[in-house]
Structure 1
């Protein structure tokens, strides 16, 4: 049985309510300049955790123990219809604010571990589907043309949807063939190289789109900002009209990562391109595309390459004893 680290708690600390503690945690997150989406994520899972605690009569942070957390995890696994990956998503949120409370001495110290979950293979667009999506449309319809440019851009850069919709015309540096991503998850600006193909596509698009440097690059038919939901609906409709049933914008990011790996790109550069703070997240891509890595393995295998070169045939017969 795991031992819990002892700590001295005053009466006022033990009586700190869940709402009071979460309000302090939220303030802490805002001071750290965490993204609004992250705050929404924490709020959603705090509400669910608080509802569970209410059913077992816990109102104060000081009452939360390792046993409480274990009971909540079992509840998620056995009483709700969610998979193990979703359970871990909930645990990560709970762990964040409980660890914060522990650091302030509001409750006992103990580790909160993720459960072992089977990792599913990430879905991607097939080569056939991409050919359907990348066929240039009728230039008379701006929305359809913009959607085509969107598909090209997402496939060429692997950016997140939230990053994509916030790119401004001035963020495209044509002379350097670079796009500046200023609104990433980590809030750190990163510069992504633009390939020759996407550069040509953007030059044509920007000539049609016009606008000032501060205007959003991807706009609606009236020149206004294209928000995430509008973008998702637009691409969903675009894909279906092209005969592609997959409609997720995030699949372009997965497809970018998969092709990077299969074409021999190193994961450290991929980490920087995708804007991940941890290399572990990028390693997951390698694990999830393991079946694809087996294809044409002989073409990349050094033993096969050397053995099958002309004049380099290696005899498998044993050497005769003298």
Structure 2
């Protein structure tokens, strides 16, 4: 034992996947990853990784063939491209840590190419049904809170991570603005508050007896709601409205789609969605279920010039009795 090299001893030591992932999460915290990112990695470990291999097994049992076989299985099951692509991204980050620590023999992990699909949105009729206000004298608190949250989502296009961290003091009713202190990136932003949303929020805050430092959408005990709780509450509300729920982020897609259809431009949409570059917004809009044909044709310079010329010819004919 005394003559065994430390490196050899470390390589031969059996490390379970669970132990390695625990170390990996501590490393991620040390690197200052955002709370939302950490929670996403925790969900991956709890729900996704065990579908490929038991976390009680040795880390050395993960092989390149195993990863490829699992992804092929996900594709054969008809899962969407972003689902298995995201899986590989998170798995690669974890295994890269293990490679660097020499817990596992390094192998190549390639991110599958995915053809971007059109984003799903809620129809205008579905939105109207979701925004049908519950009877405040008979409804449950959870349903009322879900209604106001949906109003907030559709009125701002924010992400779930943002809405879960909004506090009452972030709302400025005089200036009709909302301060987003917690977003996907480290930057913060102030966005406009619609008149309808303002009315609903003032009433909601009074009904829920919330204070300035309180979270806007907490659990009943006042603590922060998790994404899973948020999702389940909305699922229940959708069932009550008899509408199929496609996902929380679909509200963001719906906001962007309706914004463009109502005549908004891509540059203002960039500011509202808090995209870092206009290219991100362009890619986002290209994936929305929008038909710009009629809108674009009305601005076509050829048709507009021809239309103007016809008007001139008609005036000249009426004035001189001759056509030109």
Both proteins in one fold, TM over 0.5: yes
C-alpha distance 31-133 of structure 1, shift in aligned 2 (>3 A):
same
Number of the residue aligned with 1:38:
40
Moved more, 273-282 or 153-162: 273-282
Contact 1:298 1:305 in 2 (8 A): no
Number of the residue aligned with 1:25:
24
Per the TM alignment, residue 283 of structure 1 is displaced from its structure 2 partner at its CA by 4.9
Moved more, 154-163 or 222-231: 222-231
Number of the residue aligned with 2:175:
176
Alignment match of 1:133 (pick from 130, 135, 145): 130
Number of the residue aligned with 2:88:
91
Per the TM alignment, residue 215 of structure 1 is displaced from its structure 2 partner at its CA by 1.8
Contact 1:76 1:82 in 2 (8 A): no
C-alpha distance 234-42 of structure 1, shift in aligned 2 (>3 A):
closer
- Does residue 69 of structure 1 match 2:68? no
Per the TM alignment, residue 178 of structure 1 is displaced from its structure 2 partner at its CA by 2.2
Alignment match of 2:109 (pick from 85, 91, 112): 112
Q: Distance in 1 between matches of 2:176 and 2:193?
A: 5
SS in 1 for 2:183: coil
Count, aligned residues: 295
Give the 5 Å matches for 1:72-221. Answer: 72-78=67-73, 81=77, 83=79, 84-103=81-100, 112-141=109-138, 143=141, 144-186=143-185, 188-218=187-217
- Does residue 266 of structure 1 match 2:266? yes
Per the TM alignment, residue 99 of structure 1 is displaced from its structure 2 partner at its CA by 2.7
What is the TM-score when the length of structure 1 is the normalising length?
A: 0.71
Q: Distance in 2 between matches of 1:240 and 1:167?
A: 26
Q: Distance in 1 between matches of 2:282 and 2:193?
A: 24
Contact 1:77 1:87 in 2 (8 A): no
C-alpha distance 33-245 of structure 1, shift in aligned 2 (>3 A):
same
Q: Distance in 2 between matches of 1:182 and 1:286?
A: 25
Q: Which runs of 5+ in 2 are unaligned?
A: 1-6, 313-324
Number of the residue aligned with 1:255:
254
SS in 2 for 1:128: helix
Contact 1:133 1:239 in 2 (8 A): yes
Q: Deviations over 1:288-312 (max 9, x none)?
A: 22x5234524346443663465347
SS in 1 for 2:93: helix
Alignment match of 1:296 (pick from 294, 297, 313): 294
Q: Which runs of 5+ in 1 are unaligned?
A: 1-9, 315-322
Contact 1:182 1:189 in 2 (8 A): yes
Number of the residue aligned with 2:322:
none
Per the TM alignment, residue 70 of structure 1 is displaced from its structure 2 partner at its CA by 5.1
C-alpha distance 272-41 of structure 1, shift in aligned 2 (>3 A):
farther
C-alpha distance 209-299 of structure 1, shift in aligned 2 (>3 A):
farther
Q: Distance in 1 between matches of 2:215 and 2:284?
A: 31
Per the TM alignment, residue 158 of structure 1 is displaced from its structure 2 partner at its CA by 1.6
C-alpha distance 138-38 of structure 1, shift in aligned 2 (>3 A):
closer
C-alpha distance 247-122 of structure 1, shift in aligned 2 (>3 A):
closer
Contact 1:149 1:205 in 2 (8 A): yes
Q: Distance in 2 between matches of 1:21 and 1:246?
A: 36
Contact 2:169 2:213 in 1 (8 A): yes
SS in 2 for 1:176: coil
